[in-house]
Amino acid sequence: MELLAPRVLQADEDAPRRRPRRLHLRTRGRPPREHSRNVSPDIIRCDCHSDRTDVSSLRYSICDDRGYLINVLQLIIDARDEIKAAIRREKDRDDPDEDRLAELAGQSGALNWILVACFGYQGFSNAKFGRIKCHEAINAFAREILLTANNGWKPAASASSTASSTPSG
């Protein structure tokens, strides 16, 4: 059974106990990174701003012109914001309609998955409206956010939207 329990996951009895913390990268009502940073396939690494590094870790420039992906995402974000507002209004009622809340939550979840798929599609090599440079830029911005929020902690594990860490030192 030793092979099924890697040493890295076993507790070291002499080591001080450190409680890992989990940081979940949720937008909490804010637009996705590709929207707030104007990341779009038609304007990333533009020729008109080749002297700038808007994505510093990758040395990519992003044009000041609004990208077409942003226009598409804005419609979905606005619709989802309206649904979230309707959920808040329904919850604030004296007698909230649970069926209505479930319906609204389903609609919000569906729009969220469309946004997730748009992000993932940016990294697809045969994408018709995506570009790997966009996917890399979005991840670079997310990495900056994670490193800022995770200050003083060392990474222990991560997934696409969650990271676990333990105190440094």
Which range marks the domain in which residue 58 is found? 31-141
For residue 91, the domain's CATH number is 3.90.1600.10
Report the distance separating Cα 83 and Cα 167, nearest Å: 39
pLDDT tens string 84-119: 999 999 999 999 999 999 999 999 999 999 988 888
Considering the domain boundaries, does residue 26 fall inside one?
A: no
Whether the full predicted model's pTM is greater than 0.85, yes or no, is no
| Total tally of structural domains belonging to the chain | 1
Residues 36-80: tens digit of each pLDDT: 678 888 888 888 888 888 888 888 898 899 888 888 888 998 999
Question: In this structure, is residue 38 part of a structural domain?
Answer: yes
| The pLDDT value given to residue 7 | 36
